[in-house]
Amino acid sequence: MTVERLLPGQDARDLIELTREIADKELARRVDEHERAETYPEGLFATLGSAGLLGLPYPEEYGGGGQPYEVYLQVIEELAARWAAVAVAVSVHTLACYPLAAYGTPEQRARLLPDMLAGRLIGGYSLSEPQAGSDAAALTCRADRTEGGYRITGTKAWITHGGRADFYALFARTGPGPRGVSCFLAPGAAEGLTFGRPEEKMGLHAIPTTTAHWDGALIEADRLVGVEGQGLSIAFGALDSGRLGIAACATGLAQAALDEAVAYAKERETFGKKIIDHQGLGFLLADMAAGVDAARATYIDAARRRDAGLPYSRQASVAKLVATDTAMRVTTDAVQIFGGYGYTREFRVERYMREAKIMQIFEGTNQIQRLVISRHLAR
C-alpha cells in the first residue's frame, strides 16, 4: 500500500515520489539477494548520493537538500519499507554528518561537508565501546595530544558500515570524567586503524557491523570537531536526531510487514472465506495498522518540534520507543498471520521480525528511552 502522506508542499511530494521510484528500482529488487547471501550492495550508496538522498536535512550551501526533518524522516521510512539495512545505514550516515554540520568551523565544513552530503564520502558513527554502550561516559578510547595532532588508542564497537565507511564520527577521551570526551572526524583509512570480523547478526545482513581497533593511529589536529571536552554534548545532541531516524526506519519496516500481511490475508482462504474476513484476524490487522499510524505520528510530531527549534529530546525518545516496540509487535503478528509459512524464508515477514529486534536496542535501548522520558517527567 502506498502511504498517503501529509507533506508541507509540492517539492516534498516530488521528493517522496523520487524516493519511491529509486527504492522500488534499486532497493526492492536487490534486497532479498543481498540479505540472504549477506553481501554488501556495491554502488548502491553512490546511487543514493547522486540522487541527493544522503544529505537531505543539511544546508544547500554545502550540497545538502535543505529539507526539514519532517520530510527527511519520511524519505527514510520509504527506504526502510523496501530495505531496512540500507535505511539504517542512511540514517547512521546522516548522524555521522551532524557533528561537523553543527559544530565544525567554516573551514572544516567547506572542505569536508560537500563530499559527505553528496555521498562521495560515506560515514559511520563510533561512540559505543565493548564496555560502554548505554553508559557513554564510561568510554576509554584515548586521544592523546601529539605534535602532529592526536594519537588514538582503544577499541570501539557496534559500528554500522564499519570497515566500509570513509569517515567516522569518533568519540575519544582527551581528559578525565564526562567532560573529558572529545569528537573527531576520523578518516576511515587511517594507518593503525583495523576492523574486526563483521558481527554475525540476526538481521540487517547486507551492511556490516564491526569493532574498530585504534592502535596509536595518528589523525590531524584539524580533525577535532568543536573543542576538547565537548564530545558528549555533541554525541547526545546527535543521538536525539538519530533516534528519530531509527523511529522512521522502524515505522517503514512495520508498514512493510503490515502490507504483506494484508495482501496475504486477502488471498488465503480458510473455512470458505478469505482470512481477512475472519474477525479474529481482521481485528489483528486493524491493531497492526493503528500501531503503524501511531508510530508515524509520534516521529513526525517530534520532527516538527525539531524543525520549529523547540525542545524535542523527550519526544524523540517517545518516538523511538513507540515506533520500535510497534515494529517488533507488528512484524511478530505478521508472522502469525502467515502461519507456518511465516516461519519459513520463503516469505519476507520472518526477516522483518528479525530486523525489528535490533531497533529496540541501538541508538539507545528502549529501557534508556524510558529513563529519558521519566527524567523529563520528574523535572
Residues with a catalytic annotation lie at 363
What is the C-alpha to C-alpha distance for residues 124 and 188, in angstroms, rounded to an integer? Answer: 9
Give the distance from CA 192 to its chain's centroid: 28
Residue 287: CB atoms within 10 A of its CB come to 13
What is the C-alpha to C-alpha distance for residues 236 and 173, in angstroms, rounded to an integer? Answer: 15
Helices 84-103 and 106-117 pack at an angle, to 10 degrees, of 160
What contacts 131, CB < 8 A, 6 or more positions away?
Answer: 138, 140
**Residue whose entry in the numeric block shows the C-alpha cell 547522486:** 50
Cell numbers describing residue 301: 510530531
Cell numbers describing residue 330: 507488528
Cell numbers describing residue 137: 561516559
CB–CB of 163/89 below 8 Å? Answer: no
Cell numbers describing residue 76: 527514510
Cell numbers describing residue 302: 517530534
What is the C-alpha to C-alpha distance for residues 275 and 266, in angstroms, rounded to an integer? Answer: 7
Cell numbers describing residue 33: 539477494
What is the C-alpha to C-alpha distance for residues 17 and 10, in angstroms, rounded to an integer? Answer: 11
Q: Which candidate, 253, 245, 255, 239, places its Cα nearest to that of 369?
A: 239
Q: Which candidate, 182, 99, 93, places its Cα nearest to that of 144?
A: 182
Helix, strand or coil, per DSSP, at residue 209: strand
Give the distance from CA 353 to its chain's centroid: 17
CB–CB of 162/203 below 8 Å? Answer: no
Cell numbers describing residue 12: 516534498
Residue 177: CB atoms within 10 A of its CB come to 10
